[in-house]
Structure 1
Amino acid sequence: MITSFDGLCGIGDLAARAGVTVKTVRFYSDRGLLPEASRSAGGHRRYGSDALDRLRLIRSLRALGLSVPEVRRVLEEEDAAGGEGGREGGALEDAVAGRLRELGSEMRALRWREAALRLVQECPPGQRAERLNLIGAVSMPPSTEPLVRFWRGWLPPRMPARSVRAFLEVAVPRPPEDPAPAQVLAFAHLNALTLAPCPGTARPQPEAHRAAGARGAAVLYSGLAEAYELAGVQMRRGRDPRPGEALDGFVDAYTSAYGMRDSPEFRRRLAGQLAADPRIDRYWDLVTEVVTEPGRRPEPTPGSAHDWLYAALVAQTGAPPPPAV
């Protein structure tokens, strides 16, 4: 750095050496990031020999996207450590980790926005208005909160929070990081489905909610989750619905919730009850589209596993009887 006889340099010299404008140097000085060593008799700023390195560090941190407060914390830590830097768990590490999280979210939003744009670009002109309305209701990156609220309103009231969380983990799909246009469309439809008003005052509930109660429902859904996993193994192998361990676990979930014993008669009644229960097939169909990459075989969902198990129950018991009135 070019310095005067007193070892100090002016703001213009410092700016030229750092490759920035005088306005930039003044900005950082006014915010206390770049302390002045003194002022000349004419009131001009003067900087010490370490100012150039400090200014370059500030520029590097700002280039990484760190905010001025974050830069301040890093510099204060550097000063306290005698300029050694690199302290584990320090301000720099925290700031970089935070910025990486922000960038991950921003990049995910951009990937969703790109897929949404392709969805609009590739669709027939007559469908664009509808698709724009669907997409406009979805945040980028998408939020699953509408889906969570949908299921919280459907599950039995006063069901234990832990059981609710476990159910939501399998019922609410995680939006893909890098979606195809078809996955964006499926999620937009799913979002619209969960936001649509229900006829009457509440969503139709399955008979199991009334018969089992809140505590029994927790037992029911825990057992169903295990049965769905077993059914998923069979489905991935391409096997048709059939009696076996998965179906036994499915029936056991209901007997445990109701406090009853398994029997052929119970299975026939259960088949009839499930036939009369309200269905949310459209939800599970859309979930399959959201989580399945184009060209890949669809993964089992709780909805498709339930259908497989119900079909196995019907095959074992015969046609379900008409619902009781």
Structure 2
Amino acid sequence: MFPSHDGLCGIGELAERAGVTVKTVRFYSDRGLLPETARSSGGHRRYGPDALDRLLLIRSLRALDLPVPQVRRVLDEEDGSGGVLEDAVAGQLREVGSRLGALRWREAGLRLVQECAPEERAERLRLIGTVAAPPSTDPLVRFWRAWLPRRMRGRALAAFLDQAVPPPPEDPTPAQVLAFARLNAFVTRPCEGTGRGQPVVHRSSTDFRPAVLYDGLGEAYGLAAAQLRWGRAPRPGEALDCFVAAYAASYGTGDSADFRRLLTGRLAADPRIDRYWELVAEVIGPRDGRAEPTPGTAHDWLLAALTGESAERAA
């Protein structure tokens, strides 16, 4: 209750008590966030005892950078559950996180230019100028959608993309920013020739089942990645058997010595995109001082195991 004869206060007193300007109180009143209780005989705004708490709440919500429409929804929530406020705060947290992510990428990009030799600056500026901050993975996804077989099912495609497309680091180093920019340049460069460097298996007969192949390859790459983390040399075993079985099933045939010999030759003749996987490893960064396996390094490990096995059988 305000110490006046009618228990109300004027706009100046309300502004002073809340620690804001009269202009601010008028702004919120004009937008319906802070309704006036009455008008004086001279036409001046008068506010009731609840106005101060409401004004302080508005000020707090605005201090969290909530826009006026969201503040209105919070104030208008009738059941007092706080759901509107929780949603608004969650939205602001996402936006702040996005801004911080962009600032981290900008900082790392600036350090990348600052720390490089003068003769490298023009190229690095060109590279980092082609990606947003934080960058989008859409160009990488488009690259793989064009490279993979057209008849890939949604689940198999999503599983492969999850392995093949590295998420931008939340707090990147300058080296990771450079690697991601180079990765972006790699996938957006003009393609030479036809087929986008696709494996022969992608252009095989209509009996080929791509979802079967990539489901199996995902499992095989996971097994090979474990071997790579343990530092083990390529060798026959569960990972290689899973790898061969994926190709055999996709061709509608069985695993055999003849099939393994045929597969060895086909895989050895496939075009390679080693540079892509090298850059992916740089974007991911090392863990415990060692490079993290990628589908590319897992594939190479499995191919080396298959080649070694075929050579031993031929000897």
Please give the TM-score of this superposition, normalised by the length of structure 2.
0.95
Q: Which residue of 2 aligns with 1:237?
A: 230
Q: Which residue of 2 aligns with 1:224?
A: 217
Cα offsets for 1:40-78 (capped at 9, x unmatched): 22221111111111100000011111111111011011x
Q: Indicate the RMSD between aligned Cα atoms, in angstroms.
A: 1.9
Q: Distance in 2 between matches of 1:200 and 1:305?
A: 27
Letter in 1 for 2:21: T
Q: Which residue of 2 aligns with 1:296?
A: 289
2:210/2:250 contact within 8 Å kept: yes
Asked if 1:142 is matched to 2:170, the reply is: no
Q: Which residue of 2 aligns with 1:25?
A: 25
2:286/2:292 contact within 8 Å kept: no
Q: Distance in 2 between matches of 1:254 and 1:35?
A: 71
The SS at the match of 1:7 is: coil
Q: Which residue of 1 aligns with 2:72?
A: 72
2:207/2:251 contact within 8 Å kept: no
2:208/2:252 contact within 8 Å kept: no
Matches within 5 A, 1:89-100: 90-100=83-93
Q: Which residue of 1 aligns with 2:311?
A: 318
Q: Which residue of 1 aligns with 2:51?
A: 51
* Shift in Å, 1:133: 1.2
Q: Distance in 1 between matches of 2:290 and 2:207?
A: 36
* Shift in Å, 1:158: 2.6
Q: Which residue of 2 aligns with 1:15?
A: 15
Cα offsets for 1:148-174 (capped at 9, x unmatched): 000001111132122111111111111
- Which consecutive segments of 4 or more residues in structure 1 shift more than 4 A? 212-215
Q: Which residue of 2 aligns with 1:193?
A: 186
Which runs of 5 or more residues in structure 2 are unaligned?
none
Letter in 2 for 1:169: D
In structure 2, the CA distance between the partners of 1:291 and 1:213, relative to structure 1 (3 Å rule), is farther
Please give the TM-score of this superposition, normalised by the length of structure 1.
0.92
1:159/1:214 contact within 8 Å kept: no
2:153/2:211 contact within 8 Å kept: yes
* Shift in Å, 1:215: 5.9
Asked if 1:121 is matched to 2:75, the reply is: no
Matches within 5 A, 1:135-174: 135-174=128-167
* Shift in Å, 1:2: 5.2
* Shift in Å, 1:121: 0.9
Q: Distance in 2 between matches of 1:37 and 1:2?
A: 13
* Shift in Å, 1:274: 0.9
Q: Distance in 2 between matches of 1:317 and 1:294?
A: 33
Q: Distance in 2 between matches of 1:241 and 1:294?
A: 21
Q: Distance in 1 between matches of 2:222 and 2:64?
A: 45
Cα offsets for 1:192-249 (capped at 9, x unmatched): 1111110135412211112265861111111111111111111111111111111111
Give the percent of matched residue pairs that are identical in Structure 1 and Structure 2. 68
Q: Distance in 2 between matches of 1:212 and 1:183?
A: 40
Letter in 1 for 2:102: A
Asked if 1:61 is matched to 2:52, the reply is: no
* Shift in Å, 1:295: 7.0
Asked if 1:248 is matched to 2:241, the reply is: yes
In structure 2, the CA distance between the partners of 1:216 and 1:195, relative to structure 1 (3 Å rule), is same
Bigger shift: residues 197-206 or 107-116: 197-206
Letter in 1 for 2:27: F
The SS at the match of 2:193 is: coil
Q: Distance in 2 between matches of 1:213 and 1:70?
A: 55
Q: Distance in 2 between matches of 1:134 and 1:248?
A: 41
The SS at the match of 2:300 is: helix
Q: Distance in 1 between matches of 2:301 and 2:58?
A: 61
Q: Distance in 2 between matches of 1:283 and 1:262?
A: 30
Q: Distance in 2 between matches of 1:200 and 1:211?
A: 18
In structure 2, the CA distance between the partners of 1:308 and 1:295, relative to structure 1 (3 Å rule), is same
1:158/1:214 contact within 8 Å kept: no
Cα offsets for 1:266-310 (capped at 9, x unmatched): 212111111111111010000000001487211110000000011
